[in-house]
Structure 1
Amino acid sequence: MEWIIGNMAPLMFGALVLFLLFGYPVAFALAANGIVFGLLGIELGLLQPALFQALPERIFGIMANDTLLAIPFFTFMGLVLERSGMAEDLLDTIGQLFGPLRGGLAYAVIFVGALLAATTGVVAASVISMGLISLPIMLRYGYDKRLASGVIAASGTLAQIIPPSLVLIIMADQLGKSVGDMYEGAMIPGLILTGLYVGYVVLLTIIKPNAAPALPPEARSLRGFKLAVRVLTTMVPPLVLIFLVLGTIFLGIATPTEGGAMGAAGALILAVARKRLSWKLLKQAMETTGKLSSFVVFILVGSTVFGLVFRAVNGDLWVEHLLLSLPGGQLGFLIVVNVLVFLLAFFLDFFELSFIIVPLLGPVADKLGIDLIWFGVLLGVNMQTSFMHPPFGFALFYLRSVAPASIKTTDIYWGAIPFVCIQIIMVALIIIFPNIVSYGDDAQREAARLEKAGEGPAPVDLDTLMQGDQNEGAKSQDPSTDLLKNLQGDK
């Protein structure tokens, strides 16, 4: 009994991993673990029955969280745009524009993937749309099967990191930071990642010209003035929508929730303008939005039950002591955390990682002096690999569901591997050049002021990464935690 009491936190975490490996639903695995170990702790005299009195208030707090309203808004916006044919129009037009270039269709897919990411924010919609529309065309004109499938899957996952990404909303909520700052910080890394995809295609067309040939003249039906008009009329509506959603958020005119509402309204207007809005489309979009929103809320409720009991048995201190004792200070912590998240992404999707892992890592990163917006963007890029991991990547499953029979599953897997490597390179670039993640001059000035006054840490930079900050980590460890603090919650 003494051993169980002394190791309640690692036992609780191990039981959760075991439940997940058995394929038990994540929301119920989290809640069941919390309740079972809470009752066990009460039976052993480690916890007080009053602990569970904090649950109703916490669950009500989830339902009253305005930030989470952005999730159904952005999901609905993306689904309406995807079903109204915007992806099809963009791919056809941009394909004509880049057609004369070797690898032109691949560039069009990447470019359209970035635009869809900035308007829909839904990976499944982007991958399925581009897989249905562009994959048959790429195969028809002699593109390498692995390149074609890999570039479509990877471009679709840009919706994971380019705002308005759903994972960034959840990451901001879990880390207690502004969604607008998280969006602003992720914009440049998302664009750099898009550029790395383009660079890979350029390199491949130089090494293997036959892997991505240019479109033949007979396939390019639009030229000159007609092409310019088509590009203008196709590009302007999504760009206006991007400004309506992201521009107003970055300028401080609208909150992320208000931006999402404007985006949903804008998507409906675009669907009406294309004469593609129907009751069937609305019904499908609302049903899918309701399912996804319920999925998120159920996982959040389960993680709240788990988190309450986990902190009551000093699980947060166990994680802190475990991670703060790593050699190398901040750099050692970041390497271990990113390797852990990369490996867990083989089995868990980004929702599950955000709700289970991020609340445990955030406080440790904060005590090590790591800026939480920067940390959230770094984890967001890393979690993007969860969509591309063979054999469990969801983007690969989406593509497989719409790919023709001539594309083997192994072609999709091999095509994804170079892009997973590019995503890992992007993680390394953010660590080596932390200023890639930049947001809000006010936030940076405040951080500089705190550092100068000795009141707090500045955002992480290369020097502190290399030198580590073991003194700060040691100073921040405080083993004295009582039940009252646990009942008050972590926010």
Structure 2
Amino acid sequence: MTDPQIAILMLGLFIFIIMLGFPIAFTLMAMGIGFGYYAYFDADRMRHIFDNRVFDLFVNQTYSVMANDVLTAIPLFLFMGYIVERANIVDRLFETLSVATRRLPGSMAVAALITCALFATATGIVGAVVTLMGLLAFPAMLKARYDSRFASGVICAGGTLGILIPPSIMLIVYAASSGVSIVRLYAGALLPGFLLAGSYLVYIIIRATLQPNLAPRPPQSDEKVPVTHILWMMLTSFFPLAILILSVLGAILFGLATPSEAAAIGALGGLLLAAAYRALTWARLQESVYLTVRTTAMVCWLFVGSWVFASVFSYLGGEQVVREFVEGLSLTPLQFLLLAQLIIFLLGWPLEWSEIIIIFVPIFLPLLPLFDIDPLFFGILIALNLQTSFLTPPMAMSAYYLKGIAPPHVKLTEIFSGSLPYVAMVFLTMIVVYNVPAIIYWLPQLMYGR
């Protein structure tokens, strides 16, 4: 077999092994070192079994990942999210928004979506948002006689928005993989994120208006809440979290701090917020630190494994084989985008977004210059597309998170059914963004020029 054929065998074998359920990070490292040992083998210079350049490559890639300035922001943002999650802020926020939006059709669903969006933006952890909101908002909506499909779709869709809306951890990972400025990515993702969240809100209100039985209005007696009381509730629940998020995002976008520095400020702000709500205990702090370290280690080792695997794959000629194959298809830029997004959509069924961004997206990145596609534009489309990986059956992880804590009478098929309209809105938003790219480029060009 030639080296390029071995590279393709390496890729195919990796996909087969992860489908069997093996840990992805360690599979990447093992295959990278195993095939790399063959690729860098030199019998003339070999003095002992470990005298192979693949071990130098592994050590250097590990050091490069751990010293990467962009990735430093990940544990800090994660810690901010975990500490906010455990500070009992979300229940106050949902209660406040339920009261503030009570005159709107589907008021509790609107409140749940806005709470999900804010909480998802603060944490960036889909499972945490869906689970917590499933425990808090979902039973409240069912008690108010909301249709279970309608209520479950709101929770599942809202919980994924943190993948796209800055400060998104997914965009940090993409920036580290692609070399695109994280500041420009944040600026570019802001309007598409608001567009997607806004389309969800419009859908909820229109659906609740046309089919009021899906989301019954609260009794008239519940609507008589003094305006001063609502303002006080907003001041003590909504604005503190919103100000924390906007401060972190504003510091990044206006160049007042690097993403890592802003994330550190956010982590400190999360601690102060938890202390202000009298929810900062030693046990919660310990748990937040543990979860932060565990998730950060997973991301970093995925990067190490991916970069070792990709280096060996490229050295064997696999990257050139993929490039020549795609060139031979004679695709237009639109056809290439559709193909790439279809593959990412399908990969979203068995894999997490982190694995897709770290392992498979780098395969597409070298092909972008062939079709004159901006990596910034490509990254925002991926962030939009990855919303669907959590919402599309049969492997819609948001649905499984919600089913795990939902009442027994709520069927998984009902949760799937409630999530599908939001998948359609994701695709619609992607079409709008593709045809009106100014939605992505306007803010980065306004703030930072071309």
Match for 2:428 among 389, 411, 425? 425
Give secondary structure in 2 for the equivalent of 1:61.
Answer: helix
Other-structure match for 1:275:
278
- Aligned residue for 2:160, secondary structure, equals helix
| Residue of 65, 78, 81 corresponding to 1:78 | 81
Q: Which amino acid aligns with 2:63?
A: F
TM-score by length of 2: 0.93
Distance 1:389 1:288, change over 3 A: same
Q: What is the aligned partner in structure 2 of residue 414 from structure 1?
A: 417
Per-residue CA deviations over 1:238-283 (Å, capped at 9, x if unaligned) read: 1220222000100000011111100000011011111111001101
Distance across 2 between alignment mates of 1:208 and 1:272: 43
2:144 matched to 1:120? Answer: no
- Determine whether 1:105 maps to 2:103: no
Cα distance change, pair 443–262 in 1 and its aligned pair in 2 (3 A): closer
Counterpart residue number, 1:389: 392
Quote the residue 1:26 is aligned against: 24
Greater relative CO (CA pairs within 8 A, separation 6+): 2
Residue 259 (structure 2) aligns with: 256
Partner Cα separation in structure 2 for residue 35 and residue 54 of structure 1: 9
Equivalent residue for 2:33?
A: 35
Matches within 5 A, 1:220-299: 220=223, 222-299=225-302
Q: Does 1:154 align with 2:152?
A: no
Q: For 1:19 and 1:277, locate their aligned partners in 2 and report how far apart those are by CA, in whole Å.
A: 43
CA–CA separation in structure 1 for the residues paired with 2:446 and 2:157: 34
CA drift at 1:325: 3.3
| Distance in 1 of aligned mates of 2:57 and 2:40 | 15
Aligned AA (1:18): F
Q: Contact between 1:161 and 1:381, CA under 8 Å: does it hold in 2?
A: yes
| Aligned twin of 1:377 | 380
Corresponding residue for 1:189?
192
**Structure 2 counterpart of 1:440, which letter?**
P
Cα distance, 1:44 vs structure 2? 10
Q: Which residue of 2 aligns with 1:314?
A: 317
1:348 and 2:346 matched: no
From 163, 182, 195, the equivalent of 2:166 is 163
Deviates more, 1:203-212 or 1:260-269: 203-212
Q: 1:149, 1:415 within 8 Å by CA — same for their partners in 2?
A: yes
**Whole-Å Cα distance in 2 between the matches of residues 421 and 326 of structure 1?**
29
Q: CA deviation at 1:127?
A: 1.3
CA distance in 2, matches of 1:307, 1:394: 28
Deviation at 1:400, TM superposition (A): 1.5
Question: Which AA in structure 2 matches 1:97?
Answer: A
| SS of aligned partner of 1:245 | helix
Is contact 1:117–1:164 with CA below 8 Å preserved after alignment? Answer: no
1:449 — aligned with what?
none
AA at the equivalent of 1:29: T
Q: How many residues align?
A: 442
**Residues of 2 paired with 1:53 and 1:44: CA distance?**
14
**TM-score where L is the length of structure 1:** 0.86
185-194 or 94-103, which deviates more: 94-103
Q: What's the CA shift string for 1:23-67, capped at 9, x where partnerless?
A: 11101121122222223445699xx95455333222211111121
Q: Confirm or deny: 8 A CA contact 1:78 1:125 kept in the other structure.
A: no
RMSD, matched Cα: 2.0
Question: Percent same amino acid among aligned pairs?
Answer: 36
1:440 counterpart (437, 440, 444): 444
User: Does the CA contact (< 8 Å) of 2:3 and 2:317 recur in 1?
Assistant: no
1:147, 1:330 → 2: CA distance?
Answer: 37
Flag structure 2 segments of 5+ consecutive residues without an equivalent. Answer: 47-51
